[in-house]
Amino acid sequence: MSNLEKYKGIIPAFYACYDEEGNISAERCKALAKHYLSVGVKGLYVGGSSGECIYQNVEERKLVLESVMEAVGGKMTIIAHVAAPSTRDSVELAKHAADLGVDALAAIPPIYFRLPEPSIEAYWTAMIEAGQRDFIIYNIPQTTGYALSTGQFKKMLENKYVIGVKNSSMPVQDILTWKLEADRDIIVFNGPDEQFVGGRVMGAEGGIGGTYGVMPELFLACDKAINEGNIPLATEIQFKITEIIFTMVGCQGNLYDVMKEILRREGLECGHVRGPLARITDADKPTIDRAHDMIKAARSQYC
C-alpha cells in the first residue's frame, strides 16, 4: 500500500523553463525547483499543462524532469505527468520517470480522437505497466473532451498502482463522487485553483494547481487554515486568491506567460511560453503590475 501522506498538501504544477532562444533551460528548471523547495510546498507536478507538455517533444520533457530530479529529487514529492499523444511516447516517458525515481506518474486520457473507454484504459495501463509507480488519473474534461466516468474509475482502481485522481472538472461534487465510489483509501487532488477551499471541504486531501507557482505561500496559508478547522479564514484567503486569478486572466497574453512575468519580477527567470500560446503585450503590463501587487499584499497579510 502506497504512503498517501506524501501527497497531501500543496503541489504546484511546474512551469516550462526556456532560455532566450526558446529551448529548455536545465539551469532555470533547477532554480525554479529549488525555489519551491525553499518555500515549503509538499511537492511538484512536472510535465503537465502548466509545463506546456503538449508543445514539447519527448527528449525535452525528459530534460525537464531530469533537471527537477537533480535539483530536488528525494527532498519533496515529485509527480511526473507522462501522457503524450501516442501510447508509445507515453510508455517511454513513464519508464524514464520511473528510472529517475519519481514518486508517482500521472496522465490525462488520450487527446484529439474520441476513443472508447477500453482504449483509454489500455492507454493508462500501458504507462502503469511500464513505470510500476503510483498512478494518478488526471480528469480534465474541459480540455481533453473526456469526463472520467464512475465505471471507468472503478475499473482502473482494480489496478493496485492507481492511487487516485487529480480532479480538474469544475463541479466540486465530482471530488465527493471519487471518494464515495472508491472501495479503498485513495488520494484526490483539487484541480481548479479558484475553488481550492470548496474542493478540500468536499474531500480533496491536497491540491495541484497552475497558479500555485506565483503565490504558493497563499495556498499554503489556505491549506493550513483548513487543516486547523478555520474555514472562515480559509475562505477569506480563497477570495483573495480568486481575485488575483481573475486579474491575471484579464491579460491578452496567455496566463502562463503572465505568471512567468510575475516570477521574473521576483527574480526567477523562466523565459516565455512556446507558441501557439500567446506572449504578453505591453498593454498587459499594468494588469500584471496590479496582480503582482495583490499577491505581495496578500502575502504580507496572511503569510
Please report, to the nearest 10 degrees, the dihedral formed by the alpha carbons of residues 45, 51, 52, 57 taken in order.
-90
Q: Which residues contact 70 (CB under 8 A, 6 or more apart)?
A: 30
Respond yes or no: is residue 138 known to be catalytic. Answer: yes
Q: Which of 37, 51, 47 is nearest to 270 (CA)?
A: 51
The letter for the amino acid at 97 is A
Respond yes or no: is residue 302 known to be catalytic. Answer: no
Q: Which residues contact 294 (CB under 8 A, 6 or more apart)?
A: 240, 243, 244, 247
Alpha carbon distance 235, 232 (integer Å)? 5
- The one catalytic residue in 166, 179, 240, 260 is 166
- The one catalytic residue in 138, 146, 161, 302 is 138
User: 114, exposed or middle or buried, with CB in 10 Å at 0-12, 13-18, 19+?
Assistant: exposed
Q: Which of 115, 52, 114 is nearest to 84 (CA)?
A: 52
Alpha carbon distance 98, 102 (integer Å)? 6
Catalytic residues: 138, 166
